[in-house]
Structure 1
């Protein structure tokens, strides 16, 4: 485990320590525990359990035990974790009672949408339904769904920060809406199960992030830019660089997710992300300046066109947090670069 990661885990503990007493002697079930969110959930869970000397266990659903064992042996062998092989849509229910469930088990790989929109839509909905059924029979009191800002559809060009009260939605006649619409249906399922069975269903509408474990070879622009910088290549911007995004560092993401799980209101969605916008062009130039690589833009922007935005209002989430300080973007990029740079050198 790198020094950077230990510092981040200590940061998470400092800002969530008062929440963890209720986890003692309890079990939590986690889906998606081997992805970007999942690795951070497991890193923070095991670190906090160890530091606070809690008697708590997490059971993690995964499709590929051996692959995760190779990826994160220190987590795979941790005594507070148990790995359970199965598919999110039809896994057999583990025995015993669970007090908490975090459902983070939906792929965010854009290539899957292109190849099989219907399959993605079905997986999101059936995975949520399956985990809610499991929550019902296993005694879960608090259930957290990692939803998405995609539930809002296209953010209006004139709206600087999109609030949870915005009633927009994805275009239901556009198959690329399969992800966002699937998450909308998942949120409705959470409300229905909460009303019918008394489960506290917490909803985190997640935006864009950066940090260790973020895939560098998928469709995440910041990951692609960091990959190019690590490899000493020019940073390539496929579009015109005008879209506006914001990036929350992974340690802050964990503080928010654990806080929403323990303290959030039921069926009351919280936006999770940074409210500090930056254009894709400026993001690339920032990374290029830090690591002394050039930036290439392949399209010319239209001067009369407002930039595409994907930036949340986070006032509702901040109301839950005792400390509203967040890791600044430049520092977040440097932390991610150091972590991935070490992984890159280890593989050589």
Structure 2
């Protein structure tokens, strides 16, 4: 674990809401993804400095990838890695106190190339996790949704709250992701109401920070790698769409809070409201601040908009007031997010 990630893990474990998970058994789906893997590592870091341990069950699809991500922790007695397909019913022995459901298809191109699998993973996976939470009578569960579930909200809105749902073209195959998130949220609300499953919904802004995997090819990772190499940052759209962002540690602190607190069946935006900017402006900032005078922003827009699977342009400024009302606030702005991301890459 490099120094930047270690600092981030220590910041998480010092959070009072994270410490409420002491002595619990937590199932984390999507354990090799960015949020899942860092949450697992935060739990294990917590165990190094506290007597009351957290036991983690990390649900994975690929054993080889998991062994790379958790290389230093494979023999840790408080970590159990379980291979499974979330599209099938889950069997996990013994009690589970909390569930963090992070597993999802996250690659934009796959939303277009494999829309059926994208929807299946979202709906069936969430249903099977909710059934497990119901069976185990968990104390709390958090489902990771996305700001993409808002679609295209009213552009006249100054801030987008949890009630401001916008338009989604259901016949556009890329909507497999955003519609999958919507039906999964509806399923969470249904289980909370009918079966009293204590599930809360986290609507995440774009999340990144130190610990981004080498295979991550989302725009923030592309921007950072280009700047580090002194290469041009290439945009395949006009970059007019608003991006909303949040640093990894701020997100994980929010998720720990929601596991222990919040209203069942309700959704909460997780974002740093000060980071909202257009993709083009963010690219320009990264080039100027981290490109060493060698990087600039260039546009290479394909004729076929489906080529990269990017979402349509949207004007959206997320409001995190509901989550802040529970006692959370973000600590990292956009420039510092990139500084820590790049420092982590370099280490």
Q: TM-score, normalised by structure 1?
A: 0.89
CA displacement 1:83-141 (0-9 Å, x = unmatched) = 00111111540111111111111121112112111121111100001111111222212
Moved over 4 A (4+): 215-219
- What residue ranges of structure 1 are gaps of 5+ in the alignment? 301-306, 343-348
- For residue 6 of structure 1, what is the aligned residue in structure 2? 6
Q: How far off its partner does 1:310 sit?
A: 3.8
Pairing 1:257-336 to 2, within 5 Å after superposition: 257-276=255-274, 277-291=276-290, 292=292, 293-298=294-299, 308-321=314-327, 324-336=329-341
Pair 1:12–1:165, CA change in 2 (3 A): same
**Change beyond 3 A, Cα 1:105–1:53:** same
> By how many angstroms is 1:258 displaced?
0.8
How many residues matched? 333
Report if aligned partners of 2:61, 2:83 keep a CA contact under 8 Å in 1.
yes
Change (3 A) 1:217 1:232: farther
How far is the alpha carbon of 1:314 from its aligned partner? 0.6
Q: Contact conserved, 1:239 with 1:297, CA < 8 A, in 2?
A: no
* Alignment deviations for residues 234-290 of structure 1 (CA, whole Å, 9 cap, x no partner): 111222232221221111111111111111211110001221222222211221122
Query: 1:34 corresponds to which residue?
Result: 32
After superposition, the Cα gap between the structure-2 partners of 1:67 and 1:117, relative to the gap in structure 1 and judged at 3 Å, is same
- Structure 2 gap segments, 5+ residues each: 302-312
Cα distance in 1, alignment partners of residues 330 and 218 from structure 2: 25
Q: What is the alpha-carbon distance in structure 2 between the residues aligned to residue 51 and residue 161 of structure 1?
A: 40
**Aligned partners of 1:190 and 1:308: how far apart in 2?**
26
Root-mean-square deviation over aligned CA pairs:
2.0
1:304 matched residue in structure 2: none
Matched residue SS, 1:246: strand
Matched, 1:69 2:67: yes
Q: Is the 8 A contact 2:4 2:210 kept in 1?
A: no
Q: Does 1:250 align with 2:248?
A: yes
Q: Do the aligned partners of 1:160 and 1:309 also contact (CA within 8 Å) in 2?
A: no
Aligned partners of 1:216 and 1:227 also within 8 Å:
no
1:161 and 1:74 mapped to 2: Cα distance? Answer: 43
How does the TM-score come out when normalised to structure 2?
A: 0.90
Could you say if the C-alpha distance between residues 187 and 335 of structure 1 is closer, same or farther in structure 2, counting changes exceeding 3 Å?
Answer: same
Deviation at 1:218, TM superposition (A): 5.2
Judging changes above 3 Å, is the alpha-carbon distance between structure 1 residues 325 and 147 closer, same or farther for their aligned structure 2 residues?
A: closer
In 1, Cα distance between the equivalents of 2:8 and 2:18?
Answer: 18
SS in 1 for 2:272: coil
In the TM superposition, what is the alpha-carbon distance from 1:298 to its structure 2 partner? 1.8
Question: Contact (CA 8 Å) 2:153, 2:165: kept in 1 or not?
Answer: no
